[in-house]
Amino acid sequence: MPVTTIDGHTIHVDDEGFMTDYDEWDEQLASTLAGQIGVELTDEHWKALHFLRTDFREKGETPTLRRVSVSAGIPTKTLFALFPAKPAKKMAYVAGLPKPRGCV
């Protein structure tokens, strides 16, 4: 399993760079990860990220975009605005979770 160092944080990641250890994540690291992909975190971003973290802990799987929109009550349009172009993957990355596997 590759290890990478980002801004002083040493983390375990998969071959693409998605974190593989749930417990290595914290909010400060999230801001750093967001910075790596050109996203500056606002309260709205945090709402989505906290939902992803909680949902993953409960279900053992990264929620899909639809699940975030329906269950966290954040409209799809907003998610595309917060994490442009590839919201599901970008959210997962910043939340320190694997890429979502679901199709929808």
Partner 1 sequence: MTTVSPGPAPLVPSFGEESSGRKLAVICSKGNLDMAYPGLILANAALGEGVEVHLFFTFWGFDMINKSTYADLKFTMLGNTATHLPQGLGGLPGMTSIATSRLKKSIAGLDIPDVPEFLDQIVDSGGHLWACRLSADMQHLDEDDLIDTVEGVISAADFIEKTEGAQIIFI
Active site residues: 103
Q: Total binding residues for partner 1 by CB under 8 A?
A: 32
Could you give the dihedral angle defined by the CA atoms of residues 87, 6, 50 and 77, in that order, rounded to the nearest 10 degrees? -20
Q: Binding partner 1 by CB under 8 A: which of 20, 31, 54, 64?
A: 64
Per-residue exposure over 48-77, b if at least 16 CB sit within 10 Å of its own CB, e if not: bbebbbebbeeeeebbbbebbbeebebeee
Q: Would you count residue 76 as binding partner 1 (CB under 8 A)?
A: yes
- Residue 4 or 46 with smaller CB distance to partner 1: 4
Choices 22-30, 32-40, 45-53 (CB under 8 A): range interacting with partner 1: 32-40
